[in-house]
């Protein structure tokens, strides 16, 4: 059933959000620490087990892959509901702080990629496969 996949995804999200809130309380900050990342790890583990044991049937998996596929449209909606005006009106100091942070962080990507040996090869060419 498709709902099994959706429910599994929902369960992972709730568990991860709970753990993230818990970590926030434990270290004394009012923020969810890594909840989404933890949920992702949970989903990877649980789904791998389910697939290996045959309990997570292909039809149930579509309950997860649908949401994965709807991801880009959701991000487009997210972009459309950002407070762009506030960002633009923030003035030179805000623009400079934001832009420089991005530029310098970008420059660090190739440097850090060298840690732990040669960077892995690029993903195979995906032209033609744009799964929106």
Partner 1 sequence: MTEVIDLMAQVMSRYGLITAFAVVGITVWVSYQLSARLTRGHLHGSAIAIMLGLLAAYAGGVITEGARGIADLEVLAGIGLMGGGMLRDFAIIATAFGVNTRELARAGASGVISLFAGVFVSFAIGAVVAYAFGYTDAVSMTTIGGGAATYIVGPVTGAAIGASSDVIALSIAAGLIKSMLVMAGTPFVAPLIGLNNPRSAMIYGGLMGTTSGVAGGLAATDERLVPYGAMTATFYTGLGALLGPSVIFVVIRAIVG
Q: Which of residues 4-63 bind partner 1 (CB under 8 A)?
A: 9-10, 12-13, 16, 20, 23-24, 27, 29-37, 39-41, 43-44, 47-48, 61
In Å, what is the CA distance from 69 to each residue of 37, 49, 102? 19, 22, 28
Shortest Cβ distance from residue 2 to partner 1 (Å)? 13
Please give the structure tokens belonging to residue 88. 């633009």
Is the Cβ–Cβ distance between 59 and 8 less than 8 Å? no
# binding residues, partner 1 (CB under 8 A): 85
Spatial separation of the C-alpha atoms in residues 107 and 112, rounded to whole Å: 9
Shortest Cβ distance from residue 7 to partner 1 (Å)? 12
Spatial separation of the C-alpha atoms in residues 36 and 15, rounded to whole Å: 10
- Taking CB under 8 A as the criterion, which residues in 73-132 touch partner 1? 73-102, 104-110, 112-113, 115-116, 119-123, 126-127, 130-132
Shortest Cβ distance from residue 18 to partner 1 (Å)? 13
Inter-axis angle of helices 2-26 and 58-69, to 10 degrees? Answer: 60
Say whether residue 1 binds partner 1 (CB under 8 A). Answer: no
């Amino acid at each position: 059933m498709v709902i099994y996949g959706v429910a599994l995804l929902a369960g992972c999200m709730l568990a991860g959000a709970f753990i993230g809130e818990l970590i926030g309380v434990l270290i004394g900050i009012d923020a969810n620490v890594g909840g989404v990342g933890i949920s992702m790890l949970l989903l990877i583990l649980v789904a791998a087990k389910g697939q290996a044991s045959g309990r997570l049937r292909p039809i149930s998996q579509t309950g997860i892959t649908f949401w994965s596929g709807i991801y880009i449209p959701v991000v487009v909606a997210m972009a459309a509901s950002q407070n762009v005006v506030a960002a633009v009106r923030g003035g030179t100091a805000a623009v400079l702080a934001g832009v420089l942070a991005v530029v310098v962080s970008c420059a660090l990507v190739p440097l850090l990629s060298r840690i732990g040996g040669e960077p892995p090869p690029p993903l195979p060419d995906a032209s033609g496969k744009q799964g929106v």
